[in-house]
Structure 1
């Protein structure tokens, strides 16, 4: 029985070891870096297309990335296990180390002899004709400086900065709450990315499949630098009640990169952009708005469509573009570049068919994210910051004993302890005694 208790105590000591907590923090930081480097929660096809030709770090193909759950690091079993392990380590550390330290700081210790004081870290002896009067004066000085005082017959105990002992416990508690919020968000959160073209809307369903809100996009703009590279995307949104048929407007706002919209627990991020449709005129036909599709085999941001040039559907050409500003490249069946068409410009004859591009409709890539753990994450940060601030407070303890010596000059023995900046405390004590 005794050996079992000793073994259990050793295990608790190992789990609550500060070195283990530091190692766990480093492992979690590395895992978070992997989750940042590898795109998360994409389709299996995406990972095969991305990592099969060129394995990640030269080691992991698409199957390897998914087998190790690197495609969803933050909700993987091993990552949540690391968080739980670290949380347990911090709780045990607080229970075994910080809580006893706080109890010791709150407990009044009564030193009765000058010999006991001489063994403390900082000790001074002041010769005085009236030790008891000097002791009363010292008590008044300490009280004016914010010390808590316990005065007895010929003895004094004082303490200051006891809240500093609460700081480490609050830091640990804040980290545990933060990790709990992160785990809850990873497991219970929802994430979806949708592309919306201006003038179109998206119904947001609840867990029962009924329309809860409707998201409508009024306007989408892409700001580009002089070289034509996109710098910022801006979406003008309306949030309507239910399916939007009654037109009850709940919120109207603009989102852009790094400026999301939060509404009733849902966060809308401006995440990406795409090209949704192209409006063309073939010969004397009416304007035709045709959907565009992505062609990753031609480039990272290339959209287009295959368009026949004959009534029977023969002699098709590929219209390809990488920007809503154009130009639209026209390729033949053999892959040769036949012509280029400027959106809004004059028609260009392709294989005897005049083709005019009226406009290109861009689409806004909006990331919808519901994270129920966000309040806990913010609360954890606040608790940890408060604990970090309190941890900067030095906990000081001081004792004094008045010693009367019949026929001789008396002595006032003063000694103290401090958990931070002991050198500074040792320099302050003689200054304090000089005021007596």
Structure 2
């Protein structure tokens, strides 16, 4: 053996390495995979992870509140992206304009659900076991507990134990005599627990949170919601037979627009109450509706809508969302025929209800020799409407939101309004391209009060007839709404119980007092019952917090033992002992 071999052997011996001993087998690939899955599951189902996911869910909802969403207004989303040609497409690819339907929001939502279920199920099992388990036996040294009291009474241990048990009503009590934990002959211990409803309230809170998540998810899958503007006291209203009757409509992933609740609505009138400063105080609309058998018998039922007071019928809810004004114009063509139209204009100012809008009128058939000529003589109106007109020279504005002194400031156009193109157009504005191309030519700019009119060069007359109210109604259906309410109420009740109820444990050790000058032990067993008094030792422990437990322990002691007798040793809250 060379010197190098000798040094290597000595080094191996000094490190305690025995090359001849078998090495432990390396963990298999399957075992490592199982370990990774097990550890991942444990981490996912921890309460800390659930809290982090709940915070992430709330944080992820912020873009949905700050950015325009496609499900609400796709036009605003397109405008937002067009105004930001670099950042907009990136945000669109990240689904920031469809937050609540995005893959990452759904992933956080599902992970939170799985985490909560994984946390709650084991806790429910453990709670069920704890309910069946007996209260914990008394510790060997009660003086180490935060609250401790010792008292000597002139009763037998059995009598003291019976009296204490009678005063521990509402507590889970277990009485034990002797046993391995007994320190003295004839010792009786009582173990009492209280406050198991705290954990029950905590579990109910988390179970209700899971039920709330399920209800919200189910509601989003099976709900539908449509908004429609109806002019008051004009026309038959609408019937919810198809999404086409709504101005905007959205539905859950499991809805295709069919199978809606049959419901017909018409608006009879609208009333708005305003304060002197123009602030709205209350909106009220009287409507008539039909549903169910009313549709076959043509029976109309009356109802009144107010803000936050919807009509609930056949599982649907009809909300009064807003209101505005619909001006009426009448166009008299050169041959004397007339066309009238009442159309809602969009409020530009929510305080004064200064509104803007546009209208298009097609000439009557036969007035012009061919279609090209007829198309070149269409009439269009665009401008402002004020419910209470205020003029600064010729500039129109509104001084109050109520319909007191209406007026309009309009531009009158003649030419091709685009009605025959088949392309959708805004009802609140004219197509600027038609004006820029000269296909629509401005004829007049006038201010009109109700009954006033403007006459064009070819004899066409445009008359402003006044305005009426329109209301914006929302028809919504959410089959899980009542479960959301129930889950929320139960969740709050469970939280209240978990905050109010406190876990408490009390142990009582009862044993005969040793003879004079003797230590407690087997020798004291030679004394008769009449020669002994009984020592009662109490210990208390708060399982949750100690706020107020000291006073409660003192009240419990007085209730169990009554007034102190000859000698008493009480452990104070600071851990010191006082003799009296």
TM-score range, shorter chain: 0.7 to 0.9
How far apart, CA to CA, are the structure 1 residues paired with 2:82 and 2:347?
Answer: 15
Tell me the equivalent position of 1:331.
411
The correspondence for 1:289, drawn from 340, 345, 366, is: 340
Match of 2:60 among 26, 31, 52: 31
User: What secondary structure does 1:387 align onto?
Assistant: helix
Partner of 1:124: 149
Q: TM-score with structure 2 length normalisation?
A: 0.63
1:259 and 1:269 in contact (8 A); partners too: yes
Pair 1:280 & 2:330 matched: yes
User: Counterpart in 1 of 2:184?
Assistant: none
Does 300-309 or 77-86 show the bigger shift? Answer: 300-309
1:406 matched to 2:440? The reply is no
Match of 2:83 among 39, 53, 75: 53
Q: Cα deviations across residues 175-229 of structure 1 (Å, max 9, x unaligned)?
A: 1011111111112211111122233321223865698222222223455565667
Alpha carbons 1:35, 1:74 under 8 Å: kept: yes
Q: How does 1:239-318 map to 2 (within 5 A)?
A: 239-241=289-291, 244=295, 246-249=297-300, 251-273=301-323, 275-276=325-326, 278-280=328-330, 282=332, 288-292=339-343, 301-306=355-360, 318=381
Rounded to whole Å, the distance in 1 between the matches of 2:237 and 2:163 is 78
Contact in 1 for aligned 2:198/2:501 (Cα 8 Å) = yes
Matched residue, 1:80 = 106
Q: Quickly say closer, same or farther: Cα 1:36–1:258, change in 2 above 3 A.
A: farther
Q: Tell me if the contact between 1:238 and 1:253 (Cα under 8 Å) persists in the aligned partners.
A: yes
Q: Secondary structure at the match of 1:422?
A: coil
CA–CA distance in 1 between the matches of 2:204 and 2:171?
23
RMSD: 3.9
CA contact (8 A) 2:348 2:355 kept: no
Alignment correspondent of 2:286 = 236
Q: Per the alignment, in what secondary structure is the counterpart of residue 248 of structure 1?
A: coil
* 3-state secondary structure, aligned to 1:193: strand
Deviations 1:298-322 (A, max 9, x none): 9995212256999976596634234
Which residue pairs with 1:422 in the alignment?
A: 546
Q: Which moved more, 1:100-109 or 1:372-381?
A: 100-109
Rounded Cα–Cα distance in structure 1 between residues aligned with 2:285 and 2:329: 21
Mapped partners of 1:261, 1:42: distance in 2: 23
Alignment partner of 1:12 is 2:119: no
State the Cα distance separating 1:95 from its structure 2 match.
Answer: 2.9
**CA displacement 1:326-372 (0-9 Å, x = unmatched):** 42112256879832112x34445666765431122443221111112
Contact 1:330 1:339 in 2 (8 A): yes
Partner of 2:427: none
CA distance in 2, matches of 1:373, 1:318: 46
Alignment pair present for 1:136 and 2:162: yes
> Alpha-carbon deviation of 1:48?
0.8
Query: Take 1:48 and 1:127, find their aligned partners in 2: how far apart are those partners?
Result: 85
The answer on 1:320 being equivalent to 2:383 is yes
CA contact (8 A) 1:126 1:433 kept: no
Shift of 1:159: 2.0
Greater Cα shift, 154-163 or 128-137: 128-137
> Structure 1 pair 66/308, CA: closer, same or farther in 2 (3 Å)?
same
- 8 Å CA contact 2:152–2:536 kept in 1: the answer is yes
Number of the residue aligned with 2:250: none
Distance 2:315 2:461 in 1: 51
Matches of 1:254 and 1:400, distance apart in 2: 67
Greater Cα shift, 274-283 or 29-38: 274-283
C-alpha contact 2:91 2:97 (8 A) present in aligned 1: yes
**Pair member with larger Rg:** 2
Q: Alpha-carbon deviations, 1:114-150, whole Å to 9, x = none?
A: 43x445443333333446133333222222xx32333
Equivalent pair of 1:305/1:320 in contact (CA under 8 Å): no
Q: 1:6 to 1:192 in 2, by over 3 A?
A: same
Distance 2:37 2:201 in 1: 28
Q: Is the 8 A contact 1:267 1:370 kept in 2?
A: yes
Q: Give the Cα–Cα distance (whole angstroms) in 1 for the partners of residues 138 and 343 of structure 2.
A: 89
Compared with structure 1, are the counterparts of its residues 225 and 426 closer, same or farther at alpha carbon in structure 2 (3 Å cutoff)?
Answer: closer
